[in-house]
Structure formats: C-alpha cells, structure tokens
Amino acid sequence: MKKIILPLLALTIGVTSCDSYLDINTNPNAPTEESLSNEVIFPAAELNLANGYGNYFRTLGGYYSQHYAHLFGTSNYLDFSQFITSQVRSNRTYSQLNTLLLNNLKTIRENATEDEDWGAYLAATTLRVFAIQALADAYGEIPYTEALNTDILSPKYDEGGVVYAGILAELNEALTKATDPGAPVVATLLFGESATVNDWAQFANALKLRILMRISSVQDVDTEIASLIAENNFPTADVSWSGIWANEVGKANPFFQEEFASYFGSTQRNVSLNLALSATMEDSDDMRLQAFFDPNGDGEYKGGVSGTNFSTSDTYQSTYFNRPAMRYNSPVYLITKAETEFFIAEYYARTGAAADAKMHYEAAITESFLSAGLDAADAEAVYTGVYAYDNADYKRLIGIQKWVALAGTNNFEAWCELRRLKYPTFGSVSGDNIYDVASDNFQPELLVPGTLYTPIDVFGQLGDNMILQRIRYAQNSTNSNTNAPAVKPDTEPVFWAE
C-alpha cells in the first residue's frame, strides 16, 4: 500500500491545540481507495507546508532578520531575538515538513506517475522542491538522497550543494513532462479548481529562479538564469494561500492563530516591530510601514530592540511598540512578484545591464507596494529618494529593499537573502548602546537607518556583528539516526552563503 500520512489535520496543521484544519477529516488509520486520491491528499500536504513555513519559519526569519523584536513581559521568542538556536526548537516543524509533507507528496507523485497525470506530478514536485529548499536553507545539510526510503533507517545527511543539484533536476524533469500548458490540474488550495499546468509551471519557474540566484555566488549558473528570464513565464500574481482562511479555531492563518488569536484563551503578545526596520522605512518615507504593522496605542510607529523583552521597563510596555498587521485571513506567501523582480534586477546588475537592472529594481519595489495594498505611485518616494538606483551600489540597494519588501510577506526568505547578499550590514552601535536595560534608557536615534545591530545579550557563540548562519539540526532527526553528523557551529554559513 502507498504510504500516506494524514494525521488528524486531519493534519492538525501543528498550530497550538488544533484538532482539525479546514475540515479535512480523513482517518489515517482506515485509509480507503478514495482517501489515497490526490484530491484528498493535496490539501493536507499544502496545509502542512502552510503551517511550518508560514508560522515557525516566518517567526524565526522575522527575528533573525531584525524585522521583529520582542514585547514587554513575555519570553516565548526571546531566544530568537538574541539569535539563539537549539536542536529542540524546530522538532515539530521539521517533522511536519520532512515527514508529513514529503511523504504525502511522495504518494501524490506516485499516483500521478501511475496515471500519467503530469500536471499533478508537476504540482507535487514544485511543492516538494519548495519544502526541501527551505529545509536546506535553514539547516544547511539534510537527508535527501536516502530520505523517505523505508529500507534505510538512518539516511545520510547530504551537503547543501548535493541537495540543490537534486532539486533543480527534479524541477526540470517535472517541467519537461508537463508539456500541455492549458491542461487542468487537480484542484488545490493554492490555485483552486481552475488551475492549469501553466499556473504550476510559472510557480516552478519562479522557484527555479530563486534556487539559481541563491547559488549564483558559488556556481556559474548565468546561462540557466538568462534562459529563464528570456522565457519570461513567471507568475502574474503573488503565489500565496489566500482566500482560504476563516476566523475559527484551526482554520485561520497559521501565524495569526499562533500569535494573535485568543481561541485557546491565551492573550500573550510576543512579536513586535524592530527598530532596524522602522528606522530604515521611516528614513525613506516608506508607506509600507503602515501596511506591514499596526499603529501603537498612540497611533505611532516605534521599533523595539533585539535581545530584550523590556520586562524591567515601566515606560516601554507592549502598547508602546507595533504589532505586525496580521489578520485571520492574511495570505501565506510562497513567492511574490516583487521577489522575482528583485532577482531579475540583480542578475542584470551583476552582468552589466544597468538600464534593465534599474527597471526591474523599480518594478520590484512597486510590486511590493501593490502587494501591501498601496498604490504604485506610493513606491516612487522610495526608488527616487534615499534608495534611488545606482548600478555601482546595486547589491546594497537591492539587499536593503528586498529585506524591507519581504518584511511584510516572507520573513524566512529575508533571512536567507540577508545571509547571501550581506545587506543590510551592521552599523557601529549595538543593542546595548541603543537601550540600556539597567537604566531603562532608550536612544533609538543612535541607529543609522539601513543598518543592523548586535542584539542585547546576543548568543555568546555568535558574538558581535554576526547574523545567525543556520539553525541546528532538529533533535528528532538526529537522535535515532546513526549517520547524523555533528552539529555545525552557528557561525558556519550554508554552502551558498560562504
């Protein structure tokens, strides 16, 4: 029998205390022929990805990128705020993505191969590659070539370069097989009942561009990038799960349900705006700040400092700072048009086509504003002002503006690109300079806009002026695996960021 894992999500989607999600109620203990169909498995697999990527990875990415700081009184994510990682923290998400998601996608791919349904095969392969890339980007090394093989109880951990080569080959194979762009694809939560092969091909192409650009500093892939850009078959809208969420237990946006909902009686407030982001956006009169974050109790925008939760302060209470503008029906973004435009701009800048680079850089910022519900004209203040394009300074400009754009849509990818592009860089002040915990003295004006800073009480193994380069292998992956390697230092970059 084909292996399918649909745990009560039935997939409990892993959000706190959920018993169901979007009414997907397959009983995994009594599978029927119908329950093994791709129509049933696909939504379950998608929701595994939506939760792990759209909640845990979003949260850690927000803190590690200094989009987020921590609020008064709670300590739930104070370790993230101090750039700390542990082997236990990601256990649930690792199992959800590596075990539940990838096994379900394996079943879909087997069904599709048997039926020669290459549209479904492309869809499942694209989601599989997406998840594997995220895991490799987070951990550096993961089981890949021997993963999901029931005959191998201790699969080896492959180096990131091996994983990337493999997932690129998987995408190319799936794109080659799905040759009819207008052919319908099994209904999914991502593209709905009217999905076609071309919808998934566009998503796959955008994902392929992300993969190629991420390795472009350590491998010559310009020919492949140029071919993709010339083909110009990228998504015409942001790829996200939107319009599927409800304001009910187990049915809301996963990050909203974890951090903002009171479904389970919790009223804790953890995540807030970071000064590094607010200072940068205010310096360029960037209206996205008001779209990405809600105003504070006084209708203002104030960013907090990484590494503390202001728990000794009488002044800087939770209502002083700003919360992300997250709603129960907020989309979970996978790839945005803005991100693709930034990649194209970077490619042209690096290869000397300054005019094309400028055009796509400005288009990227504009698309980010449109995603935020703002007008295209609002973007002009950013790309004609402090961040006007200069090809000689392209890496800094693209790096900072991509970091800003992803703050509202995809914080995990911001952390990845921050490690790769090395922008924003660290400034000359530290978190201790900006906020003295003992005296409750807050001097946000010390931070130079467009720079990062060392968090207060930063993790000692990382040190000053360093971005966390990886998260530690999940304990539930290494404990029973005799081939698990020794945990690498938090300062050791993944292969594409060396």
- 348 pLDDT more than 60: yes
In CATH, which of 1.25.40.390, 3.20.20.140, 1.10.3720.10, 3.40.50.150 is domain 34-247+329-428+465-497? 1.25.40.390
pLDDT of residue 267: 78
pLDDT of residue 73: 86
pLDDT of residue 7: 36
The torsion angle over the Cα atoms of residues 128, 133, 136 and 137, rounded to 10 degrees, is -150
The HSE-up count of residue 458 (CA atoms within 13 Å, CB side) is: 21
CB-based contacts of 439, cutoff 8 Å, min separation 6: none
- 1 pLDDT more than 60: no
- 470 pLDDT more than 90: yes
Q: Where are the alpha helices (DSSP H) in 157-248?
A: 160-177, 197-214, 222-231
Q: Locate tokens 């594409």: which residue?
A: 496
User: pTM of this prediction?
Assistant: 0.94
The HSE-up count of residue 295 (CA atoms within 13 Å, CB side) is: 5
- 357 pLDDT more than 50: yes
pLDDT of residue 35: 57
pLDDT of residue 291: 98
- 140 pLDDT more than 90: yes
pLDDT of residue 23: 43
Average pLDDT over residues 212-226: 98
pLDDT of residue 34: 52
Q: How confident is the model at residue 30 (pLDDT cuts 50, 70, 90)?
A: very low
pLDDT of residue 380: 98
pLDDT of residue 313: 95
Other C-beta atoms closer than 10 Å to the C-beta of 259 total 22
**H or E element that contains 142:** strand 142-143
Percent of the chain, pLDDT > 90? Answer: 89
Alpha-carbon gap, residue 94 to 238, rounded angstroms: 26
Write down the domain spans for the chain.
34-247+329-428+465-497
Q: pLDDT per residue over 406-454, tens digit each?
A: 999 999 999 999 999 999 999 999 999 999 999 999 999 999 999 999 9
Q: pLDDT per residue over 141-172, tens digit each?
A: 999 999 999 899 999 999 999 999 999 999 99
Average pLDDT in the chain: 92
Other C-beta atoms closer than 10 Å to the C-beta of 61 total 24
Alpha-carbon gap, residue 341 to 38, rounded angstroms: 33
- Here the tokens at position 180 are 């009819």
Average pLDDT over residues 108-121: 97
Q: How confident is the model at residue 460 (pLDDT cuts 50, 70, 90)?
A: confident
